[in-house]
Amino acid sequence: MSAKTATRAHSPTRHLPSLKIPHLGDFHVPPRVVVITALAVPVGAAAALVAAGLLKLIALITNVCFHGRFSFGSAVPADTPHRWLVLVMPVVGGLVIGLMARYGSEKIRGHGMPEAIESILVGGSRVQPRVAVLKPASAAISIGTGGPFGAEGPIIMTGGAVGSLLAQFLRVTTDERKALLVAGSAAGMAATFNAPLASILLAVELLLFEWRPRSYLPVAVAAVTATLVRGPILGTDPLFGGAHVPAHIAMPAYGLCLVAGAAAGLLAVGATALVYFSEDAFSRLRIHWMWWPAIGGAVIGLGGLVEPRALGVGYDVIGALLTGHATTGLIIGILVVKTLIWGLSLGSGTSGGVLAPMFMVGGALGAAEALVFPHVSPGFWALVSLAGVLGGVMRSPLTGIVFCLELTHEVNALIPMVITASSAYLLSVVLLKRSVLTEKLARRGLHLTREYSVDPLEVHLVRQLETPAGVTLDAGRTAGEVTALLRAAHDAGDPDGLLAQRLYPVLGPDGDLAGVVTRGQLIHADPADPTPLRELARPAVVGHPDETLRALANRMARHEVTRLLVVSREERPRVEGIISLRHLLTARRIDLHEEHHAERVLRLRTRRVPATATT
């Protein structure tokens, strides 16, 4: 399966000849996949350690900044005994991040996901070593000083940097380097949230732009490895347990899930618009962007004075929302304050992720709905709304659903979450051109679409569309003789169709293929040229009737030709036809017809009543 995906602007590189690889069912699996998959094991382990280190670093900075103690234990800014720190520390953190971005690397700005995608699309999956150090450090400072962000975006970028740096020390292709980069990203996310399957889905939906063994296997191995390494360090329990969704849910609740999904979709649209409104507003400031995170920090501090629990990652708040222990004041405060300070400050270019804030805001939305919706379980509406907000903000409904399942282990909420996430996704697609993750890429001049479908060139076999090779040339004939023949045909209006063919097979005395010549070579040659065609012919690029058009399209690109011969697979190949770019466009045209042409296949026949004779 291939994605209708973004235009890649890789720098030109020399590619080694393709290996002859075994055919396994519907997939071609190169032996190198085994090597890259094996390399994913240390990548996954390293990414897990980095993720655990980042979480501990966030806790340390929070303790130092808000509680004045050197401790790696869990802490939240809201519990500080000095309320003025809630206003001051986010500004200090913003100043530090601005300095790190200006004098370290500008790539640490942002929430990490677009930067990872950009490095894949236009950077050849290369990440600078300094980014691997500065990105988690800046995120820890941002979140530790009260930033209302998550650690997942930075760890996606940092885990990807681990995989990319390893690959840059090895002699691998760009696609193999991409596989290791994405494997590191998925591993970092799996270790952060104890959610390996959701991390794999996120990698497929957002980073890989393909579904192939060469990319899926390293990602899966890295995610599983990271989850196993995480266990002894951070535990294996669900991150947010306690929603206690019952096995039997009343039917009206399923209908209200549509309402919850619509509300989540509208919230996703509003949050996305808020982020880019903020980014546009900051871009109009007449001060250097280095100072923008400090201004964003001031916004965070002011919001923190209104609702201190909106600061930081807020896992404790998410847990309260999903267990039904949140007060009405906290629900409204999180829904309003967290959304505002997250959206406005993220546009400043500070460092932090989007998932944890969306967990909190989505949970608050559901908790607010639980005040008026029928009771199902303490955290039911918070859980389904969380899935809805993820589906709407990220435009990744499958990832959002599986994420919530792995975070809570609430399998009984599966169907309600599918309804909510899908309806939020639908509303987001209708109202927004791009998601919060891809809008930034579009503003940088990159095109990215996330619609996946089967390549029509993969569907059609050569034998279905090839044109017969009506004209073949004897290798012993001279170039001048054939030139005269073609010119005479041109003057006579080409009654035999000699000029309709642009590629001519050259056959030896025994009928074996000696090469090919083009119409352009011959029509402009000297009629007195005595050169035999066997000397003029160049080696033929060939395909076979049972190959797909995609295989031949790749062959055309590799050999820089627009036509090639179709030959049989016999011991002495027989020329059967010609494939050109026109045939590739025909396959595309068939695909377009199937997509846009509407027709009625079956009709109900109405029985005709015979007219009654009148006298």
Confidence band, pLDDT 50/70/90 cuts, at residue 440: low
Question: What does each C-alpha distance from 15 to 80, 172, 174 come to in angstroms?
Answer: 58, 10, 10
**Nearest-10 Cα torsion for 457, 462, 465, 467:** 140
Q: Which of 267, 385, 259, 294 is nearest to 92 (CA)?
A: 294
Q: Do domains 2-8+25-234 and 251-451 have the same CATH topology?
A: yes
Return d(Cα 159, Cα 510) in angstroms, integer.
61
Q: Give me the CATH topology for the region 251-451.
A: Clc chloride channel (1.10.3080)
Looking at the predicted structure, is the pLDDT value of residue 380 above 90?
yes
Tokens 């590629």 locate to: 503
- The pLDDT tens digits of the residues spanning 120-147 come to 767 777 777 888 788 888 888 999 999 8
- The pLDDT tens digits of the residues spanning 358-372 come to 889 999 999 999 999
Residue 8 confidence (pLDDT): 36
Report angle CA 604, 605, 607 to the nearest 5 degrees. Answer: 140
- The pLDDT tens digits of the residues spanning 402-427 come to 999 999 999 999 999 999 999 999 99
Confidence band, pLDDT 50/70/90 cuts, at residue 469: confident
CATH number listed for the domain at residues 459-596:
3.10.580.10
Q: Where are the domains of the chain?
A: 2-8+25-234, 251-451, 459-596
Return d(Cα 433, Cα 501) in angstroms, integer.
45
pTM (2 d.p.): 0.79
Residue 4 confidence (pLDDT): 38
Return d(Cα 109, Cα 290) in angstroms, integer.
10
Q: Give me the CATH topology for the region 2-8+25-234.
A: Clc chloride channel (1.10.3080)
- The pLDDT tens digits of the residues spanning 268-286 come to 888 888 888 888 899 898 8
- The pLDDT tens digits of the residues spanning 251-262 come to 999 999 999 999
